[in-house]
Structure 1
């Protein structure tokens, strides 16, 4: 198997490489991204890094011509930003990859999507892949991820779409570090009653799901799958666990959800009218910290053979050890 992995220089991509190189049936991996960081790279005979821009069709054609499988993990992931940037990063790149994949006869296209598609400003439990999506998706990121999904499902290519929820573990530069920064700035407060539950997902479990998707049997292909640890946690307890392991005090002050959401709405409105920069609070950010959201992974278990092995507690400890050892 010859595999192209996009987003290979990021958190999920790096950890996915660690899993893919151990698979005997994979003999070549073209790993692409924009910038290679020493903390997120792997030195292995199977791996060749080719840095470039997926918005450039000629670059995409160049890197795809020598592979037969694609794992597309690259994305612009943010709760805020210009619509045009998300369109180019998440939709144009998908179009380029699909075009080249059709030209070169790719056998399987594994796409990493997002469960932000499910988000509404209310508690949601045991969401299944076939459940109806909200009429209005929450932000440009979710909208463009959905567009990318639709492009792939209508492309004629053989595909697998994964929707992994809140990825954590060694190498995380997004979710937990963002919360730690807010805490260090004295701005982290419990929103709502602090008892909302959520799925978190070990990055190693997601990487394993990607490998299973590459090896999927016929009945598992052309499907979309939720990916989580399969064991929802009280979100604020998990956040407190991270902070405690880092020698910090856990947050105790609570703020009413409706109040914080109103403030976030006003800050978003001000940003739109002024500098367009991401406000200190976004409605999506507030909602994810205050509302419960859990996903059903029975389909992935049944068809992909997915069995999450790394627990949330283990993933948190893995992250905090890495975070401390990297001089954070």
Structure 2
């Protein structure tokens, strides 16, 4: 089977490239970083091919049309994932890229599209437990969430024979360059601030479990409508307990202090106000990034289990241990 993966030089993308190539598929992947792409190709167990492509540019649509010919599956994992950024940057990376992917699928009659979305579209600045895929979606909490929700709308309207939208929560693992560094910075802070007593329940997803969900999605029968699935490890954990597990595995002394959430939220508002006046500066934390550690957000996996046959292949504890081991093998500073 010929598979085209967008964003193949990203964290999730490289794992998709490696594991699908290992399964014997012919893999073509796109991305912006040619140096990273070379390292991915060298580490691949099988031959894979890289096509440099930057979504939202003048020639991106034509490039994607040309390289996706004869593809059986398109996996769209290219995205800008950040709690802060401009509306234009998120639109180009998340919405324009999805439009380009859909155009390629339709022009080349690609029968299967798997779109990697985000549960950030559920977020409401309050506790939410066992969120279902058919929950009423709020207005996006930030530009990232709004762009992912808009991209989902395009995918749903795209009328691809087999169209799957996956919403994996808080992906982590080796080569993570977003979530893990932020959590480690918090741990290294010295006196880790716990908001709302550190009791917020968090859902995490080890990267191999997302890849597993993608593989299962490829086996589904065509449907008249896009099929949407929540994905996580299915092991909600209190924020304080998560930090304790990470500190133990990464060998970081853990010192916590309880902080009033309302004070932290007011400070985050102030930082965001400054950042709006200084477009080149990104605040060290935002209202959203704080709130994800202060409010519970857990996903209902019933549909993924019943329809996809999904069950995590790596537990949360094992995933944290594997990630810490990789981190130390790379000689990275915890």
Do Structure 1 and Structure 2 share a fold, with TM-score over 0.5? yes
**Where in structure 2 are the equivalents of 1:118-267 lying within 5 Å?**
118-134=122-138, 136-158=139-161, 159-186=163-190, 188-218=192-222, 222-267=226-271
| 1:87 and 2:91 are equivalent in the alignment | yes
Out of 272, 276, 281, the residue aligned to residue 272 of structure 1 is 276
Shift of residue 175 of structure 1? 0.9
**Aligned to 1:189, what secondary structure does the other structure show?**
strand
Q: Does 1:57 align with 2:58?
A: no
- Provide the rounded CA distance (Å) in 2 between the counterparts of 1:17 and 1:299: 26
Task: Flag the 1:187–1:40 CA change in 2: closer, same or farther, 3 A.
Answer: farther
1:284-295 to 2 correspondences below 5 Å: 284-295=288-299
Cα distance, 1:143–1:123 mapped onto 2, change above 3 Å: same
Residues 178-229 of structure 1: per-residue CA shift (max 9 Å, x gap) = 2213433547422221111111111101001011111212369721100011
Displacement after TM superposition at 1:276 (Å): 5.1
Report if the CA contact (8 A) 2:200-2:238 is conserved. Answer: yes
Note closer, same or farther for the CA distance 1:214–1:220 as it changes in structure 2 (3 Å cut): farther
**Is residue 8 from structure 1 mapped to residue 8 from structure 2 by the alignment?**
yes
Partners of 1:302 and 1:220 in 2: CA distance: 19
Could you list the runs of 4 or more consecutive aligned residues of structure 1 that deviate by over 6 angstroms after TM superposition?
none
Distance 2:307 2:83 in 1: 32
Higher deviation after alignment, 10-19 or 184-193: 184-193
- State yes or no: 1:316 paired with 2:314: no
The reply to whether residue 75 of structure 1 matches residue 76 of structure 2 is no
- How far the C-alpha of 1:46 sits from its partner, in A, is 4.1
> What is the total number of aligned residue pairs between the two structures?
325
- 1:279 deviates by 1.0
Deviation (angstroms), 1:120: 1.1
- What's 1:30 paired with? 28
Quote how far apart the aligned CAs of 1:40 are. 5.0
| CA spacing shift, 1:293–1:257, aligned 2, 3 Å | same
Residue of structure 1 equivalent to 2:109: 105
